[in-house]
Amino acid sequence: MKKRNRKIAAALGIVIIGGIWYNGAQSSKALPSEQASPTSSFTPLPSPSDEPSQSPESPSPSASQAPDKSPKPSASASNPPTAKPTETKPTESTPPTEAVKPPVKESAAFELLADSLPGSTVRKNKQGLAVITNASSLYVLVNKQRNLASDYVPKDLIVPDVPFSFSGDSPKKQMRKAAAKALESLFKAAKDDGIKLKAVSGYRSYATQKSIFDSNVKRKGEKVANRTSARPGQSEHQTGLAMDISSASVGYALEESFGKTKEGQWLAKHAAEHGFIIRYLKGKESVTGYSYEPWHVRFVGKEIAEDIANKKVTLEQYFEDAETAMARKA
Ligand SMILES: [Zn+2]
């Protein structure tokens, strides 16, 4: 090889190596921000996720189905197509600005939430408490930042025709009509699959929630009570859209071990098909404000439930993404 050729070859080598290094630096830079973002599951997929085309296998083995304590089991286990978001980068517009917050994946289901977005459904009362203004919406978001009025009682409470863990009449057998009908469908599907579930606790009035919380504070102290039970006005049970479900295999207890039973796993997998979500997911305490509750299902309707199950997000995150998507549209 001549001297000049060698020089060219050396220069080429530097360019190539430099290029490789540059690409590597770029993609490794892109990773942390994407993983840190709660919306990272919205990375574009070849198929539109707004049509709930998922097989019964995929929707909700979400966090709740994890057989062990690993923090993010589902994301990697059952979601291979989204695992390599960096590959799709070049097709997106303006990566430098988008890299900070990946675009929210549009969902047709977001449209249903147009009148229920958290930002526009809350007002401060005289005591400075944030009170929900859409309490009777099927899409109401209740949490530690959003309180139901103390006098809110759903108007269409009925007792679903499902087996309960106790006998006799009780207000806690009730749910709102739409939720009750959906619960009947859920329980029928369970029965057809040879799974025996029992309903444990549904509607709870403000007053009942207050006495539960107060007694928990007495028994466990305020800090623990606040993590494991809701303050009055902050319980989804007051909406009539939630039900606690358990099985004989755990003595109908409402405890984390239910999530590992075949009944708990069936519930996590099939709840969305009937319009329910497992509301308090494992590893999401910092978002929901509550410990993992594999027994607590919340009715949000099939469209939203299936979209949430597909995206493996909490209701809080889902609303946040809906709000972002709607704002972008406006
Ligand atoms: Zn509950």
Mean pLDDT to the nearest integer, 49-61 = 36
pLDDT in tens, 277-327: 999 999 999 999 899 999 999 999 999 999 999 999 999 999 999 999 988
**DSSP characters for 199-229?**
EEE----HHHHHHHHHHHHHHH-HHHHHHHS
Residues in the chain: 330
Domain annotation covers residue 18:
no
167 lies in some domain: yes
Whole-number Å distance, alpha carbon 140 to ligand 1 midpoint, is 16
| Cα 125 to middle of ligand 1, angstroms | 26
DSSP count for the chain of H helices, then E strands: 10, 8
- Residue showing tokens 């509301």: 279
- Number of structural domains the chain divides into: 1
Q: How confident is the model at residue 104 (pLDDT cuts 50, 70, 90)?
A: low
- Beta-carbon neighbour count of residue 158 at 10 Å? 16
Partners of residue 124 on adjacent β-strands? 130
For residue 19, is it within any domain?
no
Quick check: 306 and 52 in contact, CB under 8 A? yes
- The answer to the question of residue 81 being in a domain is no
Structure tokens at 268: 């996590």
Q: Give the strands of the sheet with 242-246, arranged side by side.
A: 198-201, 242-246, 293-299, 276-280
Q: How far is the CA of 234 from the centre of ligand 1 (A)?
A: 11
Q: How far is the CA of 126 from the centre of ligand 1 (A)?
A: 29
Question: What is the CATH classification number for the domain harbouring 201?
Answer: 3.30.1380.10
Query: Using 50, 70 and 90 to split pLDDT, how confident is the model at 227?
Result: confident
**Distance of CA 138 from the midpoint of ligand 1 (Å):** 17
What b/e sequence results for 8-44 when a residue is b if at least 16 CB atoms lie within 10 Å of its CB, and e otherwise?
Answer: eeeeeeeeeeeeeeeeeeeeeebeeebeeeebbbbbe
Question: What's the 245 CA to ligand 1 centre distance in angstroms?
Answer: 8
Assess if residue 194 is contained within a domain: yes
90 within domain boundaries:
no
Distance between CA atoms of residues 108 and 16, nearest Å? 44
DSSP summary character for residue 202: -
Helix, coil or strand: residue 62: coil
DSSP-derived 3-state class of residue 22: helix
Residue 55 CA to ligand 1 centre (angstroms): 27
Q: How far apart are the CA of 56 and the centre of ligand 1, in A?
A: 24
Q: How far is the CA of 235 from the centre of ligand 1 (A)?
A: 8
Which residues form the domain of 161? 108-329
Between the CA of 237 and the centroid of ligand 1 the distance, in Å, is 6
How many angstroms separate the alpha carbon of residue 192 from the centre of ligand 1?
25
127 assigned to some structural domain = yes
Ligand 1 mean position to 8 CA, how many Å? 71
Q: Give mean pLDDT, residues 179-204.
A: 98
Q: Please check whether residue 121 lies inside any domain of the structure.
A: yes
236 vs 148, 278, 312, CA distance in Å? 9, 12, 20
Q: How far apart are the CA of 242 and the centre of ligand 1, in A? A: 6
Residue 236 Cα to ligand 1 middle (Å): 7
Mean pLDDT of 193-218: 96
CA-to-CA distance for 308 and 317, rounded, in angstroms?
9
All residues at 6 or more sequence positions from 275 whose CB lies less than 8 Å from its CB, including other chains: 179, 182, 299, 300, 301, 302, 304, 305
Residues 132-171: pLDDT tens digits?
Answer: 999 999 999 999 999 999 999 999 999 999 999 999 999 9
Q: Tens digit of pLDDT for each residue in 15-36? A: 444 444 444 444 333 333 333 3
Report the pLDDT averaged over residues 77-84.
42
Q: Measured in angstroms, how far is the CA atom of residue 124 from the centroid of ligand 1?
A: 26
Q: What's the 158 CA to ligand 1 centre distance in angstroms?
A: 18
- Summarize the confidence of residues 42-63 as an average pLDDT: 36
